[in-house]
Structure 1
Amino acid sequence: MSTTRLTAVSPEEPNSNGDPGPILISDDKLRDRINHLGDRITADYQGRAPLLVGVLKGAFMFMADLARAIDLPVEFDFMAVSSYGSSTRTSGVVRIVKDLDLDLGGRDVLLVEDIIDSGLTLNYLRKNLQARNPASLEVCALLVRKGRQHEDLGLRYVGFDIPPDFVVGYGLDVGERYRQLPHIYQYQPNREH
């Protein structure tokens, strides 16, 4: 099986959606880091077919690119959870909006998260998924907000540690806006048109 490497495109900068703020992580850096994560996962899961569980909606772009960077057969399933609503701050209450379709029993599960903030949602998901008896359960997070966690979360795969600012782009949103942007931006609402 050959891996499809992520290559550069000529993305349009934000226009009709307004200017979300300065670029924090460019699409080039995203692509390079995701290819690196794909190589590590390929090496770590050699001879196995991991089940990637994406957390909707924010992780959908990351998961698609990550899957193409893994040189193994992979399967997909998705969960949707809510702890933010349309706000830029977590409510502290996690609820499952869409559950998995597949049985996790005996599977090597890789939970794919867009961003880890306090770790509340991640801890909830880990307990929930571990109760379904997977053979293994690891986490691959694109972003971790530094200084927001109260304990070591034991993350095996991390794309980037970022400041505790709110970010948008590359699947991440505020009020369902900016998900389609190719870079990750440090969100500054006063810059919108």
Structure 2
Amino acid sequence: MKKVLITGANQGIGFETALQLAQLGYFVYLGYRNQERGLEAVKKLKDIGLENVEGILIDIADGNSIRKARVELESKTIFLDILINNAGIAGDEPHISTCNIDNLKKIFDTNVFGTLQTIQEFLPLLKKSLNPSIINVSSEVGSLTLLADPEENSSRSNFHVYGSSKTAINAVTLMLSSELRKEGISVNSITPGFTATELNNFQGRKRRNKALIQL
């Protein structure tokens, strides 16, 4: 059975991903930073008959928490097939020209540095898999191609600060992909699109599926 760790998996896209992968037969470790909400998410999945799930406490903005999560996972499994870096924060800073630098640093601490440290910590477990994969959840608001288009850029101007962190993650993804390809580890960025989640106060145009809503 393939084993997957998903950060930020107690809600939104992370939870939906955990649900679908568990239904497909993967063993899913749900990463969460809030113990109460995380255990509730695990219980929801178990209540619908998915026993191939377990929770892991991990706050990717806290280096010690990441290390403790790695130690805990090593006590449960000798390998990890897939790491999905879903955890992230949007912050409340829309425009890059007027953003508070401390807030910008906070967003980068989670979305970029936290994601990279998570990858570094769990690489040894991934390298023990026969077909390891790292997936970084990004966003189209971090696309340099779209930002270079005046019309597209204007429609995304309220997401420049958050988008800059996703641009950085896209660059990290490409660098890691080039570096780790020779070791048989695939590294990719994906975007779920503008989906209604707590991250955007449920303003996204895309909605989660019926199965998740029923939970």
Q: Check whether TM > 0.5.
A: no
- Asked which structure has the greater RCO (Cα within 8 Å, sep 6+), the reply is 1
Q: Which TM-score tier does this pair reach, normalised by the shorter chain? A: 0.3 to 0.5
Query: By percentage of residues, which structure has more strand?
Result: 1
